Each structure stands twice: as structure tokens, then as C-alpha cells.
Amino acid sequence: MTHDDILKAAGLTKDELSGGTLAVHSPIDGAEVARVHETDPADMPRVIAKAQEAFKAWRTVPAPRRGELVRLLGEELRAAKEELGAVVTLEAGKITSEGLGEVQEMIDICDFAVGLSRQIYGLTIASERPGHRMMETWHPLGPCAIITAFNFPVAVWCWNTALALVCGDPVIWKPSEKTPLTAIATMKIMDRALKRFGDAPEGLCQLVIGGPAIGEALVSSKDVPIVSATGSTRMGGIVGPKVSARWGRPILELGGNNAMIVAPSADLDMAVRAIVFSAVGTAGQRCTTLRRLIAHTSIKDDLVAKLTKAYASLPIGDPRKGTTLVGPLIDHASRDRMQAALEKAKSEGGTVHGGKVVAEGVPQGGAYVTPAIAEMPEQTDTVRTETFAPILYVMGYETLDEAIAIQNDVPQGLSSCIFTLNMREAEAFLSAAGSDCGIANVNIGPSGAEIGGAFGGEKETGGGRESGSDAWKGYMRRQTNTINYSAQLPLAQGVKFDF
Ligand code: NAD
């Protein structure tokens, strides 16, 4: 299928694809595939006002009925999975199965949110006063801005939207300026669900397109109480303080620098499979990509030998081909940053395997590379920095305490894991003195989280949580209620105030 056929199959019209100011390139071959119309920053107050109007109506719709809209969205996504997955591949360069996997993740969170719509539970709390009852109620909070990164162009919108909608909040989506087409295609699917639903308020789900200036309008508006922003730590460092300064609620999902500790007892074959998937999947462009391998010195050389052999057999190229496992980087600037990081690693004493630019057997115009393994003498500044490309830094350790210290000694705190068959080591890694990350796994790589758990990380990863568990609470306001059904008015803490 040509690029145009893929976009046509997803329902994008000529008008939507041309005549605009935002040029969209496919990372597959660098071709310009569209010129999309950007939202005028002057229109943003109107967009936000529409969301506020929608909120007034949506917050009073019973949550299970709100869940019905998300159920329909899940149905429409199932029907459009192939078409939307193909646009993800075209615009973000993900291999076909990962493009489809991203849409599956959207379907999964819809299922989760439908169940949640009947489980928005508060508490009843024992009151110290006779004839009194206390409880906790969860109310919708208001419009939720969703700012997304290029590397999960649709799933992150759905993680937020499915929860926000059942929680009673309208959403305004600002996708990455690198991936507006997947967003337009997704909104068509959402529109079909809204049509079938029937009486949802206008402005419940809106899309705005553009760069940071459009995001900024959402970030600085006091009429947008929730700003869920996914992207670089640099972006979060600007967005987070701005939202907090106006007393809004930021949900920040920022960069990671994820590690795996491989202990002497580890099942090395399993570890190798986990390492290769999590270090080179999505061409190293996942927030949870494995970037640091901390291997016990007794097995490190063996492990590196197995990995370099596995890396040599990886099919690199056109992500639309069924056999490809490593597709392109998002653009040439990203490839240049990878090359610069590898040069810096070498200057810090690193030995680099791979990391070469691939020009043959791949579509011309794309930024293709061989994934790199860099053996490092220690955890240097380069290792502590997230370079959004397939570079795996390898370091050795002697004791588990040392390994955990290396694992935690980076500014980011998203995902982590240990491979070991030793129960004491596994439990120590998961304990309060173990990994400091939002995600810590045993005998599973750091990437590819399921939607059932809360997703997010600590430190410079931003502290936000999305997706499963009780992440829904981030989209609601908590109200503590005390009800007096007695004929007395006793005060708490035994205070007397008689007059
Ligand atoms: P990016 O920070 O360049 O852009 C992300 C989004 O923020 C885009 O929509 C962009 O337009 C917007 N933005 C940038 N500056 C802004 C500003 N000042 N105000 C408002 N909006 C602004 O990130 P990227 O290159 O698209 O994505 C890669 C990064 O995202 C990596 O660091 C990766 O780890 C991170 N990421 C994190 C998660 C997570 O869940 N923790 C998930 C995916 C990606």
C-alpha cells in the first residue's frame, strides 16, 4: 500500500491532508505525506470554553452511562484496528505488530474504563461523634488537556481519555506535531462512537493541532484543571511548574533511563530475549526502553557476547515488512543525537558495538541504524542522560547493593527490573531499599507494561500515574462528607463552644 492508500483507508480526506502549514513526514522514507491545518492560537479560548460547557452537562451524566461511550469507543477501535495501526506505522515508524499493539492497548484501556465506570468507589469512615457518618465522594474535576509525545501517538491519548471520560471530564488533545495524522484518524473513530452514543455534549472530545504554543494555551488556562503531559523531561520542566503555579493539577509522564540488573543465577537465555526486545523494540524509542544493563561481573562478558550475536541477526528496515524487527528512528536529528551520544561514550572510555548508520537494504530517506551496545567503565554523564535511540550501556557489578545503587543513581525513575532466580535478591530489589522507580519487575524486561497497573515514574520522570489501578483518582476531586443525623451538634476533638 502507498502512503496515500494508508491515509485514505483511515478515512483522512484530501482537505485534511493538504493546504495546511504543518508538514508531516513519514520516518519510513522521509517523504512529506501531508500538510496539516494547525489550530490558530487565537481560537484556544473558544476551544477551552466549549470544553467547560461540555463539562457542565457531562459531569451530571451517571458514570455507568459515561462508560457506555467508552465501550462504544472500544468497539469502534476494534473495527478500525488494522487501519489505525497502519497510520501509526506510517507516521511513527513502528513495525506493523507494534503499530497494531498500540491500538490493542487503546482497546484494553477502554475495557478497563468501562468496568471502572461502575466502580468509582468512595469510602465510609467511622466518625468519632454519635449520630454522625463520614464518607468520601469522588466528583469530576473538569476539562483535561492531554499533551502527547510522538512515540506513543495514540495509546497515551486513550489511557487518559478513557479514564477522564468515565470520571466525567471532557478532554482536549494536543498530539505531537510529528504525529498529527494518527490523531486525526483517531478522532474519526471517536466521532463514530459519539454518534452512536447519541446525546454527548458538543466539545466533549476536542483535538487541537500545533506545537508548544498551542500546548502553552492549555497549560496556562485556569479553565483546564488537569494537564496530562507526556514527553521529555525538558518539556515537563516547563509545563509542570506553570500548571502548579496556577493551582492546576499536572500529570507528568516524562523521560526514563531504565535498567536491568542481571544476577549470577539469572536464566541468561530468558534475559537475552528480554534485553533484546526491551532495548531495540520501537528502535529504542519507548519511554520504558532498556537503556542500562547492570550485569554481575561473573557473567557480563558471556552476556555481552550473546547480545552482540543476537543484535547481528536483527532484521532492520521497512517497518511495514512482516519480518522487520527494527524500524527507523523518528528523524535524522534523532539519528545525529544517537551518533553524538556514542562518540561521547567512547570519549568516556566506552567500547561500542554497532550503532552504525544503515544505508543499504532500507528505504532511502529514513534514519535507520544498527542498535548499539556500549560497554562502559562506569556510569558516566552520557549514561545518566536519556538518548531516545537504541543504545544499551553495559556496566558490571560485584554486590547486589552496588547494583541497586547504580540502578538508582540517575535523575529518572520510570522502569527497572532484575533477572535472578534468587528469592532474596528479587525481594531486596522490590523492597523499600531497592529500586526507586515507579515500575520494578522480576524476570521481565522494563518495557511493555500492561494497562491494569498504574503507569508512571518518580524523580525527573514526573511522578504522574496513568492507566490502571487507582490512577483514575488523578482525574477527579475528592470530597470528604460528614453527615449529622442526630439532634445534637457535638464538635470534634471534644471542643466546647457553648454560648
Ligand atoms: P517532547 O517533549 O519533545 O514533546 C512532547 C509533547 O510536548 C509534544 O506534543 C510537544 O509539542 C509538547 N510540548 C513541548 N514543549 C511544550 C511546552 N513548552 N508547552 C506545552 N507543550 C509542549 O517529547 P517527544 O520527543 O515527542 O517524546 C519523547 C520523550 O517522551 C522521551 O523523553 C520519552 O521518554 C518521553 N515519553 C514518556 C512517556 C511516559 O509515559 N513516561 C511516554 C512516552 C514518551
Asked if residue 425 has its Cβ within 6 Å of ligand 1, the reply is no
Q: In whole angstroms, give the CA distance from residue 134 to residue 286.
A: 44
Pocket test of ligand 1: the residue of 148, 151, 158, 220 to mutate, having most ligand atoms within 8 Å of its CB, is 151
- Write out pLDDT tens, residues 445-484: 999 899 999 999 999 999 999 999 999 999 999 999 999 9
Asked if residue 237 has its Cβ within 6 Å of ligand 1, the reply is no
- Write out pLDDT tens, residues 409-435: 999 999 999 999 999 999 999 999 999
Task: Spell out a b/e string for 298-336, using b for 16 or more CB atoms within 10 Å of the CB, else e.
Answer: ebbeebbebbeeebeeeebbbbbeeebbbbbbbbbebbe
- Write out pLDDT tens, residues 31-59: 999 999 999 999 999 999 999 999 999 99
Atom of ligand 1 nearest to the CA of 210: 11
Asked if residue 337 has its Cβ within 6 Å of ligand 1, the reply is no
Asked if residue 254 has its Cβ within 6 Å of ligand 1, the reply is yes
Pick the catalytic residue from 16, 98, 216, 253. 253
- H or E segment and range at residue 442: strand 439-442
- Write out pLDDT tens, residues 194-250: 999 999 999 999 999 999 999 999 999 999 999 999 999 999 999 999 999 999 999
Q: Which residue's C-alpha comes closest to atom 12 of ligand 1?
A: 212
CA–centroid distance, 359 to ligand 1, in Å, is 28
- DSSP label at residue 298: T
Asked if residue 16 has its Cβ within 6 Å of ligand 1, the reply is no
Dihedral sign of CA atoms 229, 434, 387, 100 in order: negative
* Residue 253 a catalytic site member: yes
CA–centroid distance, 302 to ligand 1, in Å, is 37
Contact of 184 with 16, CB cutoff 8 Å? yes
Asked if residue 408 has its Cβ within 6 Å of ligand 1, the reply is no
Asked if residue 437 has its Cβ within 6 Å of ligand 1, the reply is no
Residue 330: closest CA among 438, 177, 185, 138: 177
Return left, alpha or beta for 443; rule: phi > 0 is left, psi -120 to 50 is alpha, else beta.
left
- Write out pLDDT tens, residues 352-372: 999 999 999 999 999 999 999
Pocket test of ligand 1: the residue of 105, 218, 235, 329 to mutate, having most ligand atoms within 8 Å of its CB, is 235
Q: In whole angstroms, give the CA distance from residue 42 to residue 34.
A: 23
Atom of ligand 1 nearest to the CA of 149: 26
DSSP string, 459-489: ETT-S--EESTTGGGGGEEEEEEEEE-SS--
Contact of 475 with 226, CB cutoff 8 Å? yes
Asked if residue 215 has its Cβ within 6 Å of ligand 1, the reply is yes
Confidence grade of residue 493 (pLDDT, cut at 50, 70, 90): very high
Residue that has been written with the C-alpha cell 511522578 in this structure: 463
Asked if residue 451 has its Cβ within 6 Å of ligand 1, the reply is no
The whole-number pLDDT of residue 1 equals 87
Backbone angles phi, psi at 374, to 5 degrees: -120, 110
The residues that bridge with 227 in the sheet, in sequence order, are 145, 250
CA–centroid distance, 379 to ligand 1, in Å, is 25
Contact of 102 with 94, CB cutoff 8 Å? yes
Q: Which residue's C-alpha comes closest to atom 23 of ligand 1?
A: 231
CA–centroid distance, 148 to ligand 1, in Å, is 6
The residues that bridge with 24 in the sheet, in sequence order, are 34
Q: Which residue's C-alpha comes closest to atom 26 of ligand 1?
A: 149
CA–centroid distance, 490 to ligand 1, in Å, is 52
Q: In whole angstroms, give the CA distance from residue 366 to residue 317.
A: 9
Residues contacting 32, CB < 8 A, separation 6+: 23, 24, 25
pTM of the model: 0.98
Residues contacting 405, CB < 8 A, separation 6+: none
Asked if residue 217 has its Cβ within 6 Å of ligand 1, the reply is no
The residues that bridge with 440 in the sheet, in sequence order, are 416
**Whether complex ipTM tops 0.90:** yes
